[in-house]
Amino acid sequence: MLQNRNINNQFIIFALLSCSLIMTVGCSGPGNPDGRENVSGSITLNGKPLMGMSGILFSPIEEGSDGLGQGQINAGKYALTGANAVKPGKYIVRITSSIDFDKKTGKPADNTIQFGSEVPVDVVPAEFNKESTIEFEVVANKDNVFNYDIKTNYVPAMPANAKTKEEIEL
């Protein structure tokens, strides 16, 4: 069951990053389409920049809204602009991050997708992604900044041969 959850979360992160890239490359034009607003900020985990394969998703609270915004978090920072920007409205914010471990050595891998030789480990608990209740309102013609420090004692379910949480940088 844990392996299925890790595969599902890694797929979600991969899908978010893929969609972001496609939307950025395929829809690059001047300004933000459809009245979308730029959203940027910093995401930290217990005060340190969020690392690993990380993503952020702004999911509309209002049913039927098409204002979804998503992007990659890189070294704790993100910026949703252009086609990835977010329409004004209220959102649930979902934050995901995983670190891949080499199955043979138990050491953190290089974050390239190498199916079969690595095992992904979620470093952000479900209360900040699938079960998130974090709300943020995007306002038109405003500097929309969403900074968030994930404060948690969560200990990821590490592979049996992995280094301990204290030995790796989450």
Beta strand 39-45 pairing with 144-145: parallel
| pTM of model > 0.75 | no
DSSP state of 9: H
What is the residue extent of each domain of the chain? 2-167
Residue 66 has a pLDDT of 79
- Residue 76 · residue 100 · CB < 8 Å: no
Element (H, E) at 19: helix 2-26
Q: What is the pLDDT of residue 4?
A: 47
pLDDT value of residue 107: 73
Cβ-in-10-Å burial (0-12, 13-18, 19+) of 40 comes to: middle
SS3 44: strand
* Strand pairing category for 39-45 and 53-60: unpaired
Fold classification of 2-167 is: Immunoglobulin-like (2.60.40)
Q: How far is CA 39 from CA 80, 85, 150, in A?
A: 5, 6, 18
Do 44 and 150 touch, CB atoms closer than 8 A? yes
Ranges of the chain with pLDDT below 70: 1-31, 110-116, 158-170
| pLDDT value at residue 125 | 92
